[in-house]
């Protein structure tokens, strides 16, 4: 996955992501595609969660999946989750759960709870950083006010790093591509460098949802695992999602 | 460092989405949180039951390729469903509701919902 939170020169925040899923889950030689990635596309839906006929939050989901990987709480915050691979992975958390240790949260349930119940950007940030999890993860959070944007790198038990927007120091965007930011990405899977190159080329003055869509449409940021692209603005909870295709030649991940 | 064989110059003017990298729009559904958890997902699942079944069948086919005895799928169908009882409210009841309205075994719905935890290694 690739997630981006960016702030334009007027202080407006944008949040967007490519949802990549299905690595090693069956390769269709005939169509040059991952089979699960292809089968997932017709299940993608936008959801409007309402209480008393009023929107509480909106999300982009796979039908049948009740957790959240992309969502917006109108006028408060935007949230995406990226997978973080680790030897201390979710299978250990599941094993502990079966053994009776159940003080951790399943990732999808935490993001759902945060979108449903958090009352501010800071409240969401605290919950995502401090709640014990069954699996490591990256949480990418955007707010409503200038400087409210961060990438939270999580182990199962703690926040290893929180990378905040810092406009005064020139950090007008944060980006996450399934690798810890203090380590180089895998040589065979470097989506971070091309995405940063395109963001820098776009510049803060010209950043907008359409120009972020351009970044997310550039190979290999767009790749054979990309199921959809979601664009979000916190104001009024604006969200739009498009199913994607990566015509050959295209990186398999 | 060798250049990325799949890399390309930064794209521009791709929005509004169209052309070969755009596969389609996405429908919107309302999830009414005032309904009991077991009923919240009924409308969506009724509309997307066939697509959801296709994804889960695909994952089962892959599992059966690696474990041709069918034991993995058997365990999922008959043992994993008990995991639902340990999951927090309202998620446990929502999963049961999705299984009921889709006709898909509860264990398979649970696995679909904890895929993230399984695949982080």
pLDDT value at position B74? 86
pLDDT score recorded for residue A78: 98
- Taking only the tens place, the pLDDT of each residue in A131-159 is 999 999 999 999 999 999 999 999 999 99
Neighboring chain B residues of A135 at a CB cutoff of 8 Å? 116-117, 120
Search chain B and give the residue with CA nearest A231: B15
Question: How far apart (Å, rounded) are the C-alpha atoms in residues A168 and A145?
Answer: 14
Q: What is the pLDDT of residue B77?
A: 86
| Test the A interface: residue of B42, B117, B119 with most A CBs within 10 Å | B117
The DSSP result for chain A, as a single string, is -EEEEEE-TTS-EEEEEEEE--TTS-EETTTTEEHHHHHHGGGEEEEEEEETTEEEEEEEEETT--S-SEEEETTTEEEEEEE---SS-HHHHHHHHHHT---SB-HHHHHHHHHHH--SHHHHHHHHHHS-BSS-EEEEEE-SSTT-EEEEEE-SSSEEEEEE-BGGGTB-EEEESSS-TTSPPPGGG--HHHHHHHHHHH-GGG-SHHHHHHHHTSTTTS-TTEEEEEEEETGGGEEEEEEE--PSS----
Per the structure block, which two tokens stand in for A121?
């950007």
CA-only gyration radius of chain A, Å: 17
Q: Please count the residues of chain B.
A: 121
| Dihedral of alpha carbons A252, A253, B1, B5, sign | positive
Which two structure tokens, joined as six digits, stand for A165? 């927007």
Q: Do A63 and B52 touch (CB under 8 A)?
A: yes
Q: Kindly report the length of chain A.
A: 253
Instruction: Give SS3 for B74.
Output: helix
ipTM for the complex? Answer: 0.95
Interface test with B, best of A25, A35, A47, A64 (most B CBs within 10 A): A64
Q: Which residues of chain B fall short of a pLDDT of 50? A: none
Q: How many CB pairs under 8 A join A and B?
A: 213
Whether B25 sits inside 8 A of A243 (CB atoms) is: yes
Question: In terms of Cα–Cα distance, which of B34, B24, B118, B69 is closest to A55?
Answer: B34
pLDDT score, position A132: 97
The answer to whether residue A228 is catalytic is no
Chain A neighbors of B86, CB-CB under 8 A: 97, 102
Judge: B33–A250 Cβ closer than 8 Å, yes or no: no
- Token readout for A207 is 């950043």
From B99, which residue of chain A is nearest by alpha-carbon distance?
Answer: A64
- Those residues of chain A that have pLDDT short of 70 are none
CA distance A173 to chain B (A): 17
- Write the residue in B4, B21, B26 that is nearest to A44 by C-beta: B26
Report d(CA A72, CA A52) in Å as an integer. 18
- The pLDDT of residue B2: 64
Q: What is the Cα–Cα distance from A121 to A37, expressed in whole angstroms?
A: 32
């Amino acid at each position: 996955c690739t997630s981006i939170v960016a702030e334009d020169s007027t202080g407006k925040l944008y949040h967007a992501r490519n949802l990549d899923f299905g690595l090693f889950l069956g390769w269709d030689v005939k169509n040059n595609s991952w089979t699960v990635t292809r089968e997932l596309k017709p299940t993608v839906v936008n959801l409007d969660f309402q209480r008393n006929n009023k929107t509480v939050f909106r999300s982009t989901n796979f039908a049948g999946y009740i957790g959240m990987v992309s969502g917006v709480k109108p006028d408060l915050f935007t949230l995406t989750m990226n997978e973080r691979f680790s030897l201390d992975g979710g299978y250990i958390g599941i094993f502990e759960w079966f053994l009776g240790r159940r003080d951790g949260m399943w990732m999808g349930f935490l993001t759902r709870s945060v979108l449903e119940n958090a009352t501010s950007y800071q409240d969401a940030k605290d919950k995502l950083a401090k709640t014990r999890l069954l699996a490591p993860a990256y949480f990418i959070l955007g707010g409503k006010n200038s400087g409210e944007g961060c990438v939270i790198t999580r182990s199962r038990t703690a926040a290893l790093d929180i990378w905040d927007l810092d406009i005064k120091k020139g950090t007008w965007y944060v980006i996450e591509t399934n690798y810890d930011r203090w380590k180089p990405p895998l040589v065979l899977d470097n989506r971070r460098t091309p995405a940063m190159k395109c963001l820098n080329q776009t510049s803060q003055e010209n950043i907008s949802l359409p120009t972020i869509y351009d970044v997310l449409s550039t190979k290999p940021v767009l790749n054979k695992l990309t199921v959809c692209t979601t664009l979000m603005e916190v104001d009024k909870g604006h969200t739009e999602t498009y199913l994607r295709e990566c015509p050959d030649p295209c990186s398999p991940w | 460092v060798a250049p990325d064989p799949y890399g390309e110059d930064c794209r521009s003017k791709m929005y509004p989405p169209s052309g070969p990298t755009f596969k389609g729009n996405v429908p919107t559904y309302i999830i009414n949180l005032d309904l009991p958890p077991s009923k919240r997902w009924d409308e969506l699942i009724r509309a997307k039951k066939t697509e959801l079944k296709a994804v889960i069948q695909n994952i089962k086919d892959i599992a059966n390729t690696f474990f041709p005895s069918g034991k993995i799928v058997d365990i999922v169908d008959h043992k994993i469903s008990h995991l639902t009882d340990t999951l927090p409210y309202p998620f446990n009841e929502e999963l049961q509701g999705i299984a009921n309205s889709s006709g898909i075994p509860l264990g398979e719905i649970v696995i679909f919902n904890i895929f993230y935890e399984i695949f982080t290694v």
